[in-house]
Structure 1
Amino acid sequence: MNASTAQNIYDRLINGIASGEFPPGDPLAEVALAQRFGVSRTPVREALHRLEQANFAERGPRRAFFVRKMRASDLEELFEAVGELEAAIAALAARRMTEIQRRNLQAILEEGLACGDDATAYGELNARFHAQISQGAHNATLLACHAELTLRTQVWRSTNFTRDARRLDSSRAEHRAITDAILAGEPDRTRTLMRQHVASSLITLTDILALGD
């Protein structure tokens, strides 16, 4: 087996899950994926086992793989961890962001305000907004921890915008408040606002996903 091929398939599946191309509950069939990627089933099988170990995939009937569906308790635990980590990162960003990074954050905020009801475009801008804040914290260790959790939550956060149009407006308002706090150099306020922002995402998800629907 070519390890690099398995890694490439794993990366492509992760990106597909994160982007919503493979939504929770979608089957991950070895034969179909092998045909799609133009490879044998062996590297696909290895990539699927790795997805399972990373909690992105789970086994269904007949041991077939599916994109993992998370229980309410799983989501709550995951978003609690993300909320605490992003709150700490945002507080550091309020202290450490360079002037260029501050201007970039403002520009992303304005793009988010201007994209209207385009949920896909806003989902991408939302990811950029959080990434810019993470970079502004200037802490490589926190950034590495955040990257792994971002992959695990991105598909769920995107669901916020594609399944509930009201979340677009509330997210924009929360982004504005967070940006204002960062630009004002208020780390404690920024920490609180970011924690509330992530909590709002979870509340929206529990309302719209029906977890098992």
Structure 2
Amino acid sequence: MLKRTADQIYETLLKRIVDGNLRPGDSLGEQATAEEFGLSRTPIREALQRLSNAGLAERGSRRAFVVRRMDQSELQDLFEALGELEALVARLAALRMTEIERHALRDVVAEGEAPGVDYEAVNARFHEILRRGARNAMLSSLLDDLHRRTMPWRGAQFRARADRVTSSQAEHRALLEAVLAKDGDLAHLRMREHMAASMRVVSELIGI
């Protein structure tokens, strides 16, 4: 029961970070969090430690947990690693996806251009379809970790910059064309460009 409670707290706090309701530098104090959830500090402490292990929380000046901040070099390294893995996934997906999966990718790209759509959710599905289509469990596992570490900053680009949605839509269309043509090299290049564009916007948003 205790483990399940810690899992639920972790998922709740993770969602708040991913949704942007908790921003880098915001407090994750044990006492305040325990009072909010009406629980003892033990499951809270475990959930916060898991966030720390995932690279999403860190100890602040008074040793209390806060949502993790990143400096320029850390964020660049993280996005560089993510971009390379995503590009490899795109290359493999272009060569390995079934026609049904290619059709699903086309549908997601079209959905992402509909008025009023939740573009963050559509963007996540777009990348997930490519990841499944690559059919490489090790790459998928590595991407899980990097996605958790970059989610707060990746989501922020769409909430803060309406023009980023428009440019991302165009990048998705270019990636789709490469996948439909089964051109692995072009898909690799387009994904690297897509991830580099994300990094540029995130850097501008956090002022690095």
Which category describes the TM-score, using the shorter chain as reference length? over 0.9
Structure 1 runs (4+) greater than 3 angstroms displaced: none
Segments of 5+ residues of structure 1 without an aligned counterpart are none
Q: How does 1:48-59 map to 2 (within 5 A)?
A: 48-59=48-59
Residue number in structure 2 paired with 1:190 = 187
How far off its partner does 1:173 sit? 0.5
1:171 is the counterpart of 2:142: no
Q: Give 3-state SS (helix, strand or coil) of 2:58's partner.
A: strand
Is the Cα–Cα contact under 8 Å of residues 115 and 122 in structure 1 kept in the other structure?
Answer: no
Q: Give 3-state SS (helix, strand or coil) of 1:63's partner.
A: coil
How many positions carry a matched residue from both structures?
208
1:150 is the counterpart of 2:147: yes
Q: TM-score, normalised by structure 1?
A: 0.92
The C-alpha deviation readout for 1:74-115, integer Å capped at 9, x for no partner, is 110000000000000010000111111111111110111113
Amino acid in the other structure paired with 1:41: R
Residue number in structure 2 paired with 1:199 = 196
How far off its partner does 1:15 sit? 2.8
Is the Cα–Cα contact under 8 Å of residues 54 and 145 in structure 2 kept in the other structure?
Answer: no
Amino acid in the other structure paired with 1:111: E
Is the Cα–Cα contact under 8 Å of residues 101 and 136 in structure 1 kept in the other structure?
Answer: yes
Residue number in structure 1 paired with 2:3 = 3
Residue number in structure 2 paired with 1:104 = 104
Amino acid in the other structure paired with 1:163: A
Task: Give, in whole Å, the separation in 2 of the partners of 1:205 and 1:94.
Answer: 27
Q: Give 3-state SS (helix, strand or coil) of 1:61's partner.
A: coil
Segments of 5+ residues of structure 2 without an aligned counterpart are none
The C-alpha deviation readout for 1:33-73, integer Å capped at 9, x for no partner, is 22332321111012212222332111112112110011111
Residue number in structure 1 paired with 2:206 = 209
Task: Give, in whole Å, the separation in 2 of the partners of 1:19 and 1:137.
Answer: 27
Residue number in structure 2 paired with 1:76 = 76
Task: Give, in whole Å, the separation in 1 of the partners of 2:86 and 2:176.
Answer: 14
Q: Give 3-state SS (helix, strand or coil) of 1:102's partner.
A: helix
Is the Cα–Cα contact under 8 Å of residues 18 and 152 in structure 1 kept in the other structure?
Answer: no
Q: How does 1:20-99 map to 2 (within 5 A)?
A: 20-99=20-99
Task: Give, in whole Å, the separation in 2 of the partners of 1:135 and 1:29.
Answer: 37
Q: Give 3-state SS (helix, strand or coil) of 2:34's partner.
A: helix
Q: Give 3-state SS (helix, strand or coil) of 1:21's partner.
A: coil
**Percentage identity across aligned positions?**
48
Over the aligned positions, Cα root-mean-square deviation in angstroms equals 1.6
Is the Cα–Cα contact under 8 Å of residues 54 and 148 in structure 2 kept in the other structure?
Answer: no
